[in-house]
Each structure stands twice: as C-alpha cells, then as structure tokens.
C-alpha cells in the first residue's frame, strides 16, 4: 500500500454509486425502554439493511465498480454467511452472473436465502478458508472478478458509507462501537470518521473465540490465529483479518475489546425486549460489550452502537405458528 485508496472523496463517490440500491437505515427512535445502557446511546439498525446486513454496501460498490465486460462475464465469491447473501442479492439486482462458494458448515436458513437470489451455489470444504481458496482458483482460471468479503479497497470503501450516514444523522457523534469479523466494516468506518472528525472515539468488539484483530494488533501485522475460531457469532469468525483492514484498524481504531458467547445471547434477548429487533449474535456483540462493561464510553454525549446484521436463525418461530394453525 504505497498510496492510500481510502480518501474521503472515494467514500462519497461510493455512497452515490450504491444509493439507488441500499437503504439509509434508521437509528432506533428514542426513547430507550430500558435504563441499563449508557446515557444517550443510539443504535444504528443496519440489520434492516437490504439482505440483512451492512455487507450489501461493499457488494454493490464492488459490482458497480467493475468494467462492463467484467460484469458480463460474472463474479465469484465465497461465504456461507452475510457476504454470500449480499453478493447474491446485488448480482441478481444488477443482472450479473454470480457463483457463490459455501462451506458445508453454512446454516440451512442462510443457504436457502442465498439460493432464492438465483445465483450458482457450490459447496466446498468445511471452513470458509477452503471455500475461499477454491473460489479464488475458479475466478483466476476463468478470468472472473473475485468479490472479497473484507480485504479489498472496494469492499472496505463500500462498508465505510455507513459512517457517512451516521455523520449526517448525528451531528454530535463522538463515539462509535463496531463489531469486527474480517475487519471490513470497522476499517471503512474508522477511515471515514477519523478523517472527518479525529476526536470521534472508535471501539472495536470481537468474540473471545475469534479475536483475530486483537491478536494481529499485538503481533504488529495481520496474522492467522493459532487456534480455529470458536464462537456462535459465525459471521465474526474469520481466523485472520485482512492486510488492508488491519492497517486501517491499526491507524484509526482506539480500542479493541472482547465479548463471550453468553453475553451475546443475553444481548439478543435485551434487544428483543427493547425494540423487537431479532438479530444474530454478531449483530449484538456491541451491546454485549456495553452491558458486560468492557466497552467504556466515558464522557461520550452522542455514542452509537452499530447493529451490523440481523440474519438470525428464526425458522423455529415460523414453524411454531404454522403448527398452531394445524392443531
């Protein structure tokens, strides 16, 4: 990275590029029902984004940045999670052929949702790493564009557009809490926020069972975790953050803290009681960090926690209601 591609004008251009296709998601309208959260806290409900997470910002930005000839040939991606859903959604919307590689561990509800978008699905391997390697080989062999889930400037810049919405909606914004998986969201958002207003504090949150950013920050470079990930927050579970995302986090993120799985399940229940938002564990990692006390907002007057994704496994609820009809 001799020259940074992460200047503010690029984020602004990306926002304009993807605007017709994504939602400007709402903040939770005040007041909060419960009083066990930091004073003045607002929640950015990115779980209400198209395809259920912020990932669609990077997916649209990447697909719309391709040359027309690349768009016609099609794209390849690998993800059994929110990135796969986002690329499938964007590809269908833009009429671009897409092949999504999934590990066999992808949950049935996410596979079904990706399938709905009419893209080609290939199951390979039992981890994202294996699906990723095969997908990359496919893309290179056929000369197709590979849409990386986090470590690509187009992806990072797409995700960072979320921060531009925060700056518009909350002029006093002074602290943001953001979950970390591969690091695309926090990297893009931190680049926008710190270049716009350096005094905004940025707190990253990762699962204890997949603390890949913490590990890399301690090492001083992006390094794979020695142990396999172990967390219910499957969309935060990459074993290695990206080179771009690591560099941006090192430069712009103030603190990275960790939460355990049980705290995330408690936070899921809290968010449901608070405003009837059912989200996946990754979506409430930020709430878990606030409630368990590891994320300290000391003195912040307009803090925001980003609820980054909502694709929980909700199938059992629909089953129960369907059974209630039969009986």
Contact call for residue 39 and its own copies (CB under 8 A):
no
**C-alpha angle 271-272-275 in degrees, rounded to nearest 5:** 75
Reduced 3-state DSSP string for 236-291: HCCCCCCHHHHHHHHHHCCEEEEECHHHHHHHHHHHHHHHCCCCCHHHHHHHHHHH
Contact call for residue 2 and its own copies (CB under 8 A):
no
Question: Which listed residue (5, 26, 118, 228) binds its own copies by CB under 8 A?
Answer: 26
Smallest separation, CB 43 to its own copies (Å): 11
Contact call for residue 82 and its own copies (CB under 8 A):
no
Among candidates 236, 228, 264, which has minimal Cα distance to 180? Answer: 236
Question: Which listed residue (14, 18, 41, 51) binds its own copies by CB under 8 A?
Answer: 51
Contact call for residue 322 and its own copies (CB under 8 A):
yes
Question: Which listed residue (1, 8, 137, 313) binds its own copies by CB under 8 A?
Answer: 313
Contact call for residue 304 and its own copies (CB under 8 A):
no
- Residue 230 or 251: which CB sits closer to its own copies? 230
Residues written for the chain: 327
Per-position b or e across 108-118, b if 16+ CB within 10 A of its CB: eebbebbeebe
Contact call for residue 94 and its own copies (CB under 8 A):
no
Among candidates 185, 256, 188, which has minimal Cα distance to 216? Answer: 256
- Residue 188 or 310: which CB sits closer to its own copies? 310
**Whole-number Å distance between alpha carbons of 132 and 100:** 10
DSSP 3-state of 305: strand
Q: How many of the chain's residues bind its own copies (CB under 8 A)?
A: 47
Question: Which listed residue (130, 170, 223, 272) binds its own copies by CB under 8 A?
Answer: 272
Query: Which residues have C-beta within 8 Å of that of residue 102, sequence separation ≥ 6?
Result: 78, 79, 80, 84, 111, 114, 121, 122, 123, 124, 131
Question: Which listed residue (3, 9, 20, 220) binds its own copies by CB under 8 A?
Answer: 20
Contact call for residue 229 and its own copies (CB under 8 A):
no
Going by the DSSP 8-state scheme, the letter that residue 42 receives in this structure is E
Q: To which H or E segment does residue 303 belong?
A: strand 303-307
DSSP sequence for 124-192: -SSSHHHHHHHHHHHHHHHTPEE--SSSSHHHHHHHHHHHHHHHHH-TT--EEEEE-SSSHHHHHHHHH
Phi, psi dihedrals of residue 201, rounded to the nearest 5°: -85, 140
- Residue 183 or 281: which CB sits closer to its own copies? 281
Question: Which listed residue (50, 135, 164, 187) binds its own copies by CB under 8 A?
Answer: 50
Q: Which stretch binds its own copies (CB under 8 A): 58-66, 126-134, 267-275, 289-297?
A: 267-275
Smallest separation, CB 31 to its own copies (Å): 7
Bridge partners, 203 (sequence order):
177, 255
- Residue 219 or 269: which CB sits closer to its own copies? 269
Contact call for residue 31 and its own copies (CB under 8 A):
yes
- Residue 2 or 316: which CB sits closer to its own copies? 316
Interface of this chain with its own copies, residues 96 to 125, rule: CB under 8 A: 113, 116
Residues that bind its own copies (CB under 8 A): 20-21, 23-26, 28-31, 33, 47-48, 50-52, 89, 113, 116, 232, 261-262, 264-265, 268-269, 272-273, 275-279, 281, 310-314, 316-318, 320-322, 324-325
């Amino acid at each position: 990275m001799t020259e940074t591609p992460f200047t503010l004008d690029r984020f602004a251009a990306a926002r304009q590029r993807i605007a017709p296709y994504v939602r400007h998601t709402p903040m939770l309208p005040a007041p909060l029902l419960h009083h066990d959260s930091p004073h003045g806290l607002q929640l950015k409900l990115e779980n209400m984004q198209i395809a259920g997470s912020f990932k669609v910002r990077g997916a649209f930005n990447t697909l719309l940045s391709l040359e027309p000839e690349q768009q016609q040939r099609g794209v390849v991606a690998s993800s059994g999670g929110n990135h796969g859903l986002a690329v499938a959604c964007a590809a269908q919307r833009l009429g671009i052929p897409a092949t999504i590689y999934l590990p066999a561990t992808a949950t049935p509800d996410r596979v079904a949702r990706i399938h709905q978008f009419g893209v080609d699905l290939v199951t390979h391997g039992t981890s994202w790493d294996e699906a990723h390697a095969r997908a990359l080989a496919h893309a290179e062999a056929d000369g197709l564009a590979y849409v990386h889930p986090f470590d690509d400037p187009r992806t990072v810049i797409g995700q960072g557009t979320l921060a531009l919405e925060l700056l518009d909606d909350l002029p006093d914004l002074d602290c943001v809490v953001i979950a970390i998986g591969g690091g695309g969201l926090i990297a893009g958002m931190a680049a926008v926020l710190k270049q716009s207003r350096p005094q905004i504090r940025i707190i990253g949150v990762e699962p204890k069972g997949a603390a890949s950013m913490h590990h890399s920050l301690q090492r001083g470079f992006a390094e794979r975790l020695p142990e396999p990930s172990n967390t219910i927050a499957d969309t935060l579970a990459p074993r290695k953050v990206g080179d771009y995302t690591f560099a941006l986090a090192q430069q712009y993120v103030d603190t990275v803290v960790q939460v355990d799985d049980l705290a995330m399940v408690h936070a899921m229940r809290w968010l449901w009681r608070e405003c009837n938002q059912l989200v996946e564990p990754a979506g409430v990692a930020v709430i878990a960090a606030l409630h368990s006390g590891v994320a300290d907002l000391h003195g912040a007057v307009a803090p925001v926690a980003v609820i980054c994704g909502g694709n929980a496994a909700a199938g059992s609820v629909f089953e129960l209601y369907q059974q209630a009809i039969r009986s």
